[in-house]
């Protein structure tokens, strides 16, 4: 999990060219344990940039180097905030999704952001329009 935080921080810093701080980590779902002696692959990408924060999507695989196969271990979403020289949040460049998968991550990021801000006491549930829409019948 420490490595995941580092990988996510690198992705965030490369996107905004600034120091970043971890604001939150969503639930991490573990599918398979990584065996002792197996290699660990971590993929971290910015899924959406907001004003000063960025959501990072992380996927982790294990690799059995003797049997030569890779298997999914876990995935998670991290949120990082870019900081100015005074350690205050600063604006980040926007992200344009290119692939279908990137578009899905981008769209979902808004709902995940609303959920984490509600849980963090930083947003009223009534203001989470896109999240509420998931539970409303058309």
Ligand X SMILES: CC(C)(COP(=O)(O)OP(=O)(O)OC[C@H]1O[C@@H](n2cnc3c(N)ncnc32)[C@H](O)[C@@H]1OP(=O)(O)O)[C@@H](O)C(=O)NCCC(=O)NCCS
Residues that bind ligand X (CB under 6 A): 21-24, 50-53, 79, 81, 89, 116-117, 120, 122
Provide CB contacts within 8 A for 32, sequence distance 6+.
62, 71, 72, 73, 74
Select 81 or 105, whichever has its Cβ closest to ligand X.
81
Least distance between ligand X and beta carbon 138 (Å): 28
Which residue sits closest to ligand X, CB atoms considered? 50
Select 24 or 71, whichever has its Cβ closest to ligand X.
24
Select 61 or 80, whichever has its Cβ closest to ligand X.
80
Least distance between ligand X and beta carbon 135 (Å): 21
Least distance between ligand X and beta carbon 98 (Å): 21
Tokens of 107: 């769209």
Least distance between ligand X and beta carbon 40 (Å): 20
Select 65 or 119, whichever has its Cβ closest to ligand X.
119
């Amino acid at each position: 999990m420490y490595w995941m935080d580092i990988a996510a921080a690198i992705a965030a810093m490369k996107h905004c060219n600034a120091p970043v701080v971890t604001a939150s980590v969503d639930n991490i779902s573990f599918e398979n344990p990584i065996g002792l002696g197996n290699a660990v692959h971590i993929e971290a990408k910015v899924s959406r940039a907001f004003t000063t924060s960025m959501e990072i999507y992380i996927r982790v695989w294990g690799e059995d180097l003797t049997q030569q196969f890779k298997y999914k271990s876990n995935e998670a979403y991290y949120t990082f905030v870019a900081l100015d020289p005074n350690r205050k949040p600063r604006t980040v460049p926007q992200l344009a999704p290119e692939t279908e998968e990137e578009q899905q991550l981008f769209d979902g990021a808004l709902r995940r952001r609303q959920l984490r801000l509600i849980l963090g006491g930083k947003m009223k549930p009534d203001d989470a329009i896109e999240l509420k829409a998931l539970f409303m019948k058309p």
